[in-house]
């Protein structure tokens, strides 16, 4: 499993996750583990569901792009390999408690969850909650990082996953001009 930075960028030109399978290193886009129902390493299924729901309300297509597997994979990575925005904002490693506390606060404070099962809430229904979250802690948001800070970090990582690929650039009608061009469209 020998991979260096140049090999990684030459092969990908995008956000990829490395998985060791049978002694081989597989580089997968964050959407692939989701499609293949790869088990989470750090997040629980409920945490991943909450993360996907909120991410989708903040950045459409974040769920389909594999936001929950991306964050899970980064939380499991060694400190030096972690690419979450939290690393650059000075949040100490490991950062799993940041997510756990914020997701629990989200679950407890969102009034929609008092009326509906979490799986029945839609991203569009969350828009008013997200607007509040951008500005201040919603009522009943306790024992967690500030909601606006959590929003900022989740939005940043969701944008990276959703638009940090050749496909994402294409959705935005922006020419993809990588320093090292990917080998082809055949990456996983």
Q: What is the pLDDT of residues 89-106, one digit of tens each?
A: 999 989 999 999 999 999
Residue 9 confidence (pLDDT): 41
- Which of 169, 171, 134, 172 minimizes the C-alpha distance to 151? 134
Tens digits of residue pLDDT in 71-88: 999 999 999 888 899 999
User: Cα separation of 137 and 5, whole Å?
Assistant: 39
Residue 119 confidence (pLDDT): 83
Domains of the chain: which residue ranges? 41-171
Can you list the residues of the chain whose pLDDT is less than 70? 1-30, 32-34, 179-188
User: Cα separation of 31 and 167, whole Å?
Assistant: 12
User: What is the average pLDDT value for the chain, to the nearest integer?
Assistant: 82
Kindly report the pTM of this predicted structure: 0.79
Radius of gyration, CA atoms only, the chain: 17
């Amino acid at each position: 499993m020998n991979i260096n930075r140049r090999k990684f960028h030459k092969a990908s030109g995008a956000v990829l996750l490395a998985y060791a399978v049978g002694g081989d290193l597989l580089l997968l886009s964050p959407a692939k583990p989701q499609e293949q129902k790869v088990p989470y390493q750090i997040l629980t299924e409920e945490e991943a569901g909450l993360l996907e729901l909120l991410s989708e309300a903040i950045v459409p297509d974040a769920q389909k792009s594999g936001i929950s597997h991306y964050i899970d994979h980064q939380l499991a990575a060694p400190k030096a390999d972690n690419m979450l925005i939290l690393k650059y904002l000075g949040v100490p490693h490991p950062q799993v408690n940041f997510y756990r506390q914020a997701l629990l606060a989200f679950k407890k404070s969102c009034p929609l969850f008092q009326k509906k099962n979490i799986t029945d809430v839609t991203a569009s229904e969350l828009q008013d909650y997200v607007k509040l979250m951008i500005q201040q802690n919603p009522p009943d948001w306790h024992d967690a990082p500030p909601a606006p800070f959590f929003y900022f970090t989740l939005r940043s990582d969701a944008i990276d996953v959703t638009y940090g690929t050749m496909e994402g650039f294409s959705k935005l009608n922006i020419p993809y001009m990588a320093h090292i061009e990917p080998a082809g469209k055949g990456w996983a």
